[in-house]
Amino acid sequence: MKRAKIIGVGAYAPRRVLTNPELEKMVATSDEWIVQRTGIRERRIADPSEATSDLALRAAQQALERAGVEPGEIDLIVVGTTTGDMAFPTTANIIQHRLGCRNAGSTDVYAACSGSIYSLSIGSQYIQTGKYRTVLCIGAECLSRITDYTDRGTCLLLADAAGAAVLRASDDESGIIDTDLYSDGRYWELLYQPAGGSRHPATHETVDKRMHYAKMKGNEVFKVAVRMFQDCAERILQRNGLTPDDLTLFIPHQANLRIIEAAVKRLKMSMDKVFVNVDRYGNTGAASVYVAMEEAWATKRMSAGDLVLLAAFGGGFTWGAALIRW
């Protein structure tokens, strides 16, 4: 069975930069406190005229151009997002139309910040089985739209961006070696958006109670997230007869620098092998790993033959990992 190989990557971040000093004027915090607790110095915020599909479109176009692939060659589009343009149609469906992928199926994956790994894993299966020749995987978010800028626990973290990867079958040992997907619904109340679905549809009451914004229990999320990072990284490496020492680069979900550092310490890895850009982008949800992967490629932090590990966790909780021979 041939591996699915990433043949092109793309990313897009909105122009507007929201800095820590600006947040000092919104909530009781300081630049020093934010950096110490999260590692974030700035984050990108979409223009009011931009929706998630707009960001995704820019990232996808760049990935396709780099891959040398025409929109008509795409067989399937898989988009990881929590903040789709609307309840339906899917954001993937909108992107399929706007890109001009007339021969493509399309679907969204709703796995919060793990949407990056979930979409990549799902897309890779269709390549490995030979069902499809070319798959476009995307992670995109406008998390600022569900961010309460009176809530210090979330507004310091969440941001907007999109990333994309084009997959085709590999003709050598390069490509996606393995993926793992996990979930545990016991932790749903640690990170969720109360209203907007069938449980609590939009009413004056849900709006007045600010129920359409993301809610998070930060300390509890920290503990569970670190454990999930360690668990999925160790499992996928052990199953493939590898250790953290064998890795060239580890690209984790860019949620919070403290979470990343704690997980890396548990894995007994050096931070020199870890790609971090959370300081400049904040937590961009399902886009996070794709955006980091694109930047790692663009800055030559990884090259052909390198062994790369991706990992993410998100509300639900969901988590997962992907092991790649670049």
What pLDDT digit, counting tens, does each position of 64-79 carry?
A: 999 999 999 999 999 9
- Is 93 known to be catalytic? no
Which candidate, 251, 257, 244, 104, places its Cα nearest to that of 166? 104
Per-residue pLDDT band at 314 (split at 50, 70, 90) = very high
Name the CATH superfamily for 4-172.
Answer: Thiolase/Chalcone synthase (3.40.47.10)
- Is 283 known to be catalytic? yes
Contact 235, 229 (CB under 8 A): no
Q: Does a cis peptide bond (omega within 30 degrees of 0) precede residue 89?
A: yes
- Of residues 20, 137, 155, 253, which has the active-site annotation? 253
Name the CATH superfamily for 177-325.
Answer: Thiolase/Chalcone synthase (3.40.47.10)
Confirm whether 4-172 and 177-325 share one CATH topology: yes
Domain segments of the chain as ranges: 4-172, 177-325
Q: What is the mean pLDDT of residues 138-144?
A: 98
What's the mean pLDDT when you consider all of the chain?
A: 97
| pTM of this structure | 0.97
Which candidate, 177, 194, 301, 187, places its Cα nearest to that of 251? 301
- Of residues 20, 93, 101, 113, which has the active-site annotation? 113
What pLDDT digit, counting tens, does each position of 247-262 carry?
A: 999 999 999 999 999 9
- Is 204 known to be catalytic? no
Distances (CA, A) of 287 to 19, 55, 120, 265, 325: 20, 10, 11, 25, 21
